[in-house]
Amino acid sequence: MAPKKSITEQDIILTAFHMIRTMGTRSVTARKIALEIGCSTMPLYSTVGSMQDLNIRVMEIGYILLEQLRQRIHSGCPLLDLQLAMYQLAEHEPHLWRLMFLNSLETAREPQFSEWRRLVQDIEESLPGAGSLADPTRIQQLQDVSYALIGVCASINLGTFFYLQERPQDQASYITQVFSRLNTGLIPWYTPPAAKPAGLDQALQSALDTTIELCSTPTTPEAPDTAHAVS
């Protein structure tokens, strides 16, 4: 009799991540994940809890990907780097982006946006006048930019950002201009970058490869905790 296959938390989370990327959360069930892995649903529930818990773990990988992508975009402004990373996810990873920013029913919003706030605070510390996190006006300006950014990316994600249809040949450059105008209008201390970043699609693929590698290594600090296995 063949030995039972050992199923790790890592197996479950990465399988769910890949399935959600291609199918979306509404099409991914515990039974489908178990079928893909080759086990029953029991190890899934005993290891990661509910599907909502699993979605949150997938979101954690999504934020690692977002940060990896931000680090590969060099526009000259960290805030714009984050915005362009958001645009790339919204455009090219639509299901993952919706899980991270639009799906309020399937996921817990507090873990979702606490991670987003952490990223924005990291950006804040790298901008002119750093150290003013306690300034309510400055914080409100960054919040206004965040709300507007998520709105624009949602429109891109859902295919309703009709301006892109008028400029398909230079979409990344146009989006860069849109975000720069948005920043200039909402935050007076924003300085538009002199150069436009290139190779965004290549940056996304590189960030995705790095993220999967990180999350496939249990000893990596950035990866989810996958120390134990079940049969």
User: pLDDT at position 218, please?
Assistant: 66
Q: 176 CB contacts (<8 Å, ≥6 apart)?
A: 75, 80, 84, 196, 197
Rg (C-alpha) for the chain, rounded Å, is 19
> Residue 136 is inside which H or E element, if any?
helix 136-157
Encode pLDDT of 104-127 as tens digits.
Answer: 544 445 555 667 777 777 777 666
Q: Would the pTM count as exceeding 0.85?
A: no
Angle CA 209–100–42, to nearest 5: 80
Q: How many CB atoms lie within 10 A of CB 60?
A: 19
Q: Domain-by-domain residue ranges, the chain?
A: 62-224
Nearest to residue 7, comparing CAs of 66, 48, 60? 48
Q: Which two tokens stand for residue 13?
A: 């989370």
Amino acid letter, residue 207: A
Q: What is the mean pLDDT of each run of 10 residues along the chain (231 residues)?
A: 67 93 91 90 86 90 93 87 92 93 58 68 66 64 85 88 64 84 84 78 92 78 44 41
Residue 69: predicted pLDDT = 94
Residue 200 confidence (pLDDT): 87
Tell me the Ramachandran region of residue 224: left when phi exceeds 0, alpha when psi lies from -120 to 50, beta otherwise: beta
Please report the DSSP string for 199-219 in residue order.
-HHHHHHHHHHHHHHHHT-TT
Token readout for 181 is 């105008």
